[in-house]
Amino acid sequence: MNSRMTPDRRRVARRDVLRVGVAGLGALCIPRLSAGAITASRPSEGEDDATRLVLIELAGGNDGLNTIVPKSDDAYHNARKVTRLAPKSLLPLDDYRGFHPVLANLREQWESGRTAIVEGVGYPSPNRSHFKSQEIWGCAHLSGKAAGDGWIGNLLAREFAEEVSVTRAVHVGPKLPDPMISSKHPVLCLAQPSQFRWADERTAPDAATVASDGDSMRDRLTRVLTAAQSSTERVRGAVARYKTSVEFPDTDLGDALHVGAALLEGQLGTRIVSVTHPGFDTHAHQMDAHEGLLRDFDQSLGAFCRAIAGTAVGKNTVIMVYSEFGRRVAENASKGTDHGAAAPMFVLGDSVKGGLYGEHPSLTELDDGDLIHSVDFRSVYSTVLQRVFGPSSVDVLDGRFDALPLFETA
């Protein structure tokens, strides 16, 4: 964007970009199999009371130790001569921990009692490959994509098998992430340039498949694309009509969460919104890069929380923030940190019982230089699923996992 534009002109230009960006939408993950009638969702009685889930992925492996900082741990300061944060610069959390100094909005949510920090989150035999670890988190299975669809895809197939809607789950961003991959339920991906296309070649039926399935497949595609076209108009209208006095950051993440708020408020039947904030693979010169990434995350998250605060949608929305792994305790020679294991997750919402959960990993008792996890990420998934979609929804996970007391009881 032209740096010489005035703030008012930047705001107008950004609003126009948002409208253009959803005019044709982005991608559509179209399943191979039939799963009930496919529709473009219409408002239904009591829709504002429906619980909703917002997923924010900090992609690349967020450094948890420089996000929630163990300021009083000598091992942290000894391991990080260049990449450590000074205790006096932090936003206090308790005697042991502090928030990174740019996380003022997250700390405000914490102080209001609406944020759960789950420490030491990971999974057995951690994999340091971005791709494999993202698959594991995305499919909620240690074998990754070999297990099939993403965990949200499985949720959609189970909970909405009789009411398949194009706008039920929406990812705002250029690439559909692993959790949203579905072979049974269409998932919308809002990207730029904005036009429907196959979101993932694994779920795109090829010519041979269409020919072999005959009219049934052609009918299926016709129904999906007809619903998709209808949804295009409704999503464009929802974003154009959405009004808020909150100024979102003029960044990709700010734009994505602005659109996400419009979708949730837009009477589209949207229950799940996903966004990705990339760039957290901070192997070199971490300090400035990580600070900028966290500042964008914090300001965008803060704007989103303010925009939905006090509304029926806000009351019934749960936000979950995660990354595919953390970073190693010791810094490297390039003034950065390398791929690690356990890291904190965040769960936010009016129904959340704020506090610290799990156990902060030891910085001296390590697994080949990595923090040792104390909470399986699927326990967090299970807890959130039960709250947002009901007890039966946990069956989409690979086994049973202990729930955490993250939410206020009814």
Output the DSSP codes for 379-390: HHHHHHHHHHH-
Enter the tokens of residue 119.
Answer: 């420490």
Supply the pLDDT for residue 270: 94
Give the pairing of strands 52-58 and 91-92: unpaired
How much is the pLDDT for 176? 92
Please state the φ and ψ torsions of residue 273, each to the nearest 5 degrees.
Answer: -125, 135
Contact present, 221 and 196 (Cβ < 8 Å): no
**Which residues 6+ apart lie within 8 Å of 249 measured at CB?**
296, 299, 300, 303
Token pair of 267, please? 């009477």
DSSP 8-state secondary structure symbol assigned to residue 198: B
- The answer to whether the beta carbons of residues 84 and 72 sit under 8 Å apart is no
pLDDT of residue 228: 56
Percentage of the chain beyond pLDDT 70 is 78
Alpha helices in 87-129 (DSSP H): 104-111
For the question of whether the overall pTM of this predicted structure is more than 0.75, the answer is yes
Residues 259, 172 contacting (CB under 8 angstroms): yes
**Two tokens, residue 388:** 């947002």
- Give the residue from 347, 346, 351 showing the smallest Cα distance to 314: 351
Q: Within the chain, how many helices (H) and strands (E) appear?
A: 11, 15
Residue of 380, 244, 250, 396 lying closest to 313 (CA atoms)? 244
Beta strands of 271-401 (E only): which ranges?
A: 272-277, 317-322, 343-348, 355-358, 375-376
Between 216 and 178, whose confidence is greater?
178
Rounded to the nearest 10 degrees, what angle do helices 151-159 and 377-389 cross at?
Answer: 30
Which of these, 166, 167, 134, lies nearest to 151 by C-alpha position? 134
Q: How many CB atoms lie within 10 A of CB 165?
A: 24
What is the dihedral sign for C-alpha 318, 400, 277, 363?
A: positive
Do 324 and 339 touch, CB atoms closer than 8 A?
Answer: no
pLDDT, position 386? 97
Confidence at residue 194, expressed as pLDDT on a 0 to 100 scale = 33
> Which of 302, 354, 307, 320 has the alpha carbon at shortest distance from 105?
302
Mean pLDDT for 337-351 is: 98
Confidence (pLDDT) at 28: 55
Mean pLDDT of 383-400: 95
Q: Kindly state the tokens that stand for 33.
A: 């199999």
| pLDDT given for residue 240 in this prediction | 84
pLDDT confidence bin for 18, thresholds 50/70/90: very low
Q: Give the CATH number of domain 7-396.
A: 3.40.720
